[in-house]
A = this chain, B = another copy of it.
Amino acid sequence: MNAEQLRRLLADVQSGRLDIEEALTRLKLLPYEDIGFAKLDHHRWLRKGFPEVVLCRGKTVGQVVDILGRLSARGTTVLATKASPEMFAAVQQAMAGARFHELPGLILVNEGVAPRGPGFVLVVTAGTADIPVAEEAAVTAEVMGNRVERLYDVGVAGLHRLLDHNKLLLEADVIVAVAGMEGALASVISGMVDRPIVAVPTSVGYGASFEGLAALLAMLNSCAPGVAVVNIDNGFGAGYLASLISGQTRGKG
Q: Is A105 an interface residue (CB 8 A)?
A: no
Contacts A41-B161, A214-B221; is A207 near B231 (CB within 8 Å)? yes
Q: Is A145 an interface residue (CB 8 A)?
A: no
- A209 — which chain B residues lie within 8 A by C-beta? 217, 221, 231
* A contacts with B, residue count (CB < 8 A): 112
Which of chain A's residues 88-140 have a Cβ closer than 8 Å to chain B? 126-129, 131
Report whether B152 and A218 are in contact in the complex, using a CB–CB cutoff of 8 Å: no
Contacts A37-B128, A159-B192, A207-B232; is A217 near B227 (CB within 8 Å)? no
Report whether A220 and B229 are in contact in the complex, using a CB–CB cutoff of 8 Å: yes
Interface residues of A (CB under 8 A from B): 2-3, 6-7, 10-11, 13-14, 16, 19-20, 23-24, 27-28, 30-32, 36-39, 41, 44, 47-50, 53, 55, 57-59, 63, 67, 82, 126-129, 131, 152-161, 164, 166-167, 170, 181-184, 187-188, 190-196, 198, 201, 203-234, 236-237, 240-241, 244-245, 247, 249-250, 252
> Other than the known A207-B232, A208-B232, what 14 A-B pairs have Cβ atoms closer than 8 Å?
A3-B167, A10-B24, A28-B164, A44-B158, A53-B225, A58-B127, A156-B224, A157-B222, A182-B222, A196-B241, A206-B233, A229-B230, A245-B245, A247-B247
